[in-house]
Amino acid sequence: AQSVTQLGSHVSVSEGALVLLRCNYSSSVPPYLFWYVQYPNQGLQLLLKYTTGATLVKGINGFEAEFKKSETSFHLTKPSAHMSDAAEYFCAVSSEYGNKLVFGAGTILRVKS
């Protein structure tokens, strides 16, 4: 079965520093991969997704992620953190039957001034 592991339930960075949120997945079929962001008391918003083609995917708000099949990873990065990036981030993979997404447990990003 598909699964997603997000390393680090909490990540803290200084404003202006690199943001790196880790996501590893397992999948028995070529995966579709997603990163979502959630602000307090709101729904999830899509940051970016990988389906096929170019392995470096650019998303909204300056985020990007690279699909590395050999490492079964899809880490999320942003060169320079902003205070407004403080939120919870979820990685997700499409299920092997293509009928739903499987979400990771989430990583809360804190940005220090």
Partner 1 sequence: DGGITQSPKYLFRKEGQNVTLSCEQNLNHDAMYWYRQDPGQGLRLIYYSQIVNDFQKGDIAEGYSVSREKKESFPLTVTSAQKNPTAFYLCASSITGRETQYFGPGTRLLVL
The DSSP line for 53-75 is S-SEEE-GGG-EEEEETTTTEEE
Applying the rule CB under 8 A, the residues between 92 and 111 that interact with partner 1 are 94-95, 97-101, 103-106
SS3 83: helix
How many chain residues touch partner 1 (CB under 8 A)?
Answer: 23
Q: CB 113 → partner 1: shortest distance, Å?
A: 25
Q: CB 16 → partner 1: shortest distance, Å?
A: 28
Taken in order 107, 67, 47, 57, is the CA torsion positive or negative?
positive
x/- letters, 44..63, toward partner 1 (CB under 8 A)? xxx--x--------------
Return d(Cα 33, Cα 4) in angstroms, integer.
10
Residues that bind partner 1 (CB under 8 A): 9, 32, 34, 36, 41-46, 49, 90, 94-95, 97-101, 103-106
